[in-house]
Amino acid sequence: MPVVDIHTHVYPPSFMDLLRSRSAVPYIRSFPPDTSPRLIILPGEDSPSNPSTARGRPIGPEFYDISKKIEFMGKHRIDISVISLANPWLDFLPADDAGPIAQRVNEEINELCDQYPGRLFAFGALPVSASREVIVMEIARLSEKKYIKGVVMGSSGLGRGLDDPALDPIYEALQEHQLTVFLHPHYGLPKEVFGPRASDYGHVLALALGFPLETTVAVTRMLLSGVWDRFRALSVLLAHSGGTLPFLAGRIESCVHHDNHLLDELKQGERRSIWDILKNNIYLDAVIYSQIGLKAAVDASGSNRIMFVSSNGNFLAGTDHPFFPPLESKDDEWPSVQANFNAIKDAFDGNKEAADSILGGNAIRLLKLELRAE
Ligand code: URA
Ligand code: ZN
């Protein structure tokens, strides 16, 4: 069974040029006296009060040179990568630029895949600040592209979150073209949540907690607004094993059932439960770095044998490359990747079939990846 990495990012050449040309987040620049370029993408991470090591992250060819991705895949025995534009995708573009830039970036990503047929596929990026017509047109266009298997999206949607009814034509188009949404966090939580000393802690609070909670809130809002009641075949792949969604699913469902305000609005009897959606519409990457988190997420879909097997079917392996590189030697295997892959193997110790499904089979099935005969 081939090993597939479904969570792995890239900035294609024209997007790099765009980042280098900008002076507001997101952008790339160096901070003297240091001359090496840094990538500034997260809200507020270029604050002068941040120590220089907390201002963004170093950026090198692993972010934009596709041969580095292939090298990384070789080093970690990954057969296929499904690449996606890294955050903040095209979210920040002025409305008029978004459509043409999306086309260019998606063409470049498709061409990168074409350089390594059978080894690279991709999630396209959507021009979310453009009109709905333009977005829907781009979805239709992407569905014709040889290597594009879905779209990557942030939690802000068209700017008002993923529970925004204005997204309905977009969900409809994604469902119609059977494109999976790879939902990835970017915005985190308001900085006040992390307190006045947050910058002493580098990116830890934002990435370890802000990201997963952002995803959890976004998906819960989709659930509460009835997105999956209206789009029953919409597939969404959640980054970082669904944030904390599997862990909190019972509490979410219980709060819904005990909320007087929701009694009429959600017509409790008819709405689909989070459990139903977790089993039928939601896929989780396995980027959680420990078997405890992975097992919790698997168990969240039910602990009996049949559910256990079916919940394996919703997990896909990922690396988050080129983020989380080793801080020291660059020649060895990346500990962040080893931690993820070991968690999968350990969590399914003795059940090779389940581990193989997560490492590759599920991605091949969900994204309909065409395998090449050797
Ligand atoms: N940090 C990011 O900004 N994005 C990722 O995908 C991972 C870490
Ligand atoms: Zn990522």
ipTM: 0.96
The residue whose CB lies within 8 Å of the most ligand 1 atoms, and thus the one to mutate among 323, 324, 337, is 323
Q: How far apart are CA 337 and CA 318, in angstroms?
A: 8
Atom 4 in ligand 1: which residue has the minimum CA distance? 87
38: amino acid identity, one letter = R
Pairing of strands 236-238, 27-29: unpaired
Cβ of residue 87 lying under 6 Å from some atom of ligand 1: yes
Choice from 211, 285, 321 to test ligand 1 binding pocket (greatest atom count within 8 A of CB)? 211
Q: Whose CA is nearest to atom 5 of ligand 1?
A: 323
| Distance between Cα 324 and ligand 2 center (Å) | 10
Quote the DSSP letter at residue 135.
H
- Ligand 1 center from residue 323 Cα (angstroms): 6
pLDDT at residue number 314: 74
Contact 196/166 with Cβ under 8 angstroms? no
Q: Are 77 and 3 in contact (CB under 8 A)?
A: yes
Check if 320 has its Cβ closer than 6 Å to any atom of ligand 1.
yes
Spatial separation of the C-alpha atoms in residues 352 and 41, rounded to whole Å: 39
CB 315 within 8 A of CB 293: no
**CATH class assigned to 4-367:** alpha beta
Q: Does 25 sit in the ligand 1 pocket, CB within 6 Å? A: no
Give the pLDDT confidence score for residue 304 in this predicted structure. Answer: 29
* Closest atom, ligand 1, to C-alpha of 239: 6
CA 321 to ligand 1 center in whole angstroms? 9
Alpha carbons 97 and 128: distance in angstroms, whole number: 11
Point out which residues pair with 38 in neighbouring strands.
Answer: 29, 58
Query: Ligand 2 centroid vs 278 CA: distance in angstroms?
Result: 21
User: How high is the mean pLDDT in each 10-residue block of the chain (374 residues)?
Assistant: 94 97 96 90 85 84 98 95 98 98 98 98 98 98 98 98 98 98 97 92 94 98 96 95 90 92 72 89 89 77 35 77 89 88 82 82 91 78
Query: Starting from the edge strand earliest in sequence, which strands make up the sheet with 180-183, in order?
Result: 4-10, 80-85, 120-125, 148-153, 180-183, 236-238, 282-285, 315-316
Kindly list the domain boundaries of the chain, sorted by start residue. 4-367
Say if residues 101 and 127 touch (Cβ distance below 8 Å). yes
pLDDT at 183: 98
The predicted model scores a pTM of: 0.94
Q: Which atom of ligand 1 is nearest to the CA of 9?
A: 6
The alpha carbon dihedral of 373, 286, 288, 347 has a sign of negative
CB distance 236 to ligand 1 below 6 Å: no
Q: Is the CB of 11 under 6 A from ligand 1?
A: no
* Ligand 2 centroid distance, CA of 211 (Å): 10
The ligand that comes nearest to the alpha carbon of residue 57 is: 1
Residue 67 has a pLDDT of 98
Task: State in Å: Cα 211 to ligand 1 middle.
Answer: 9
Q: Is 60 helix (H, G, I), strand (E, B) or coil?
A: coil
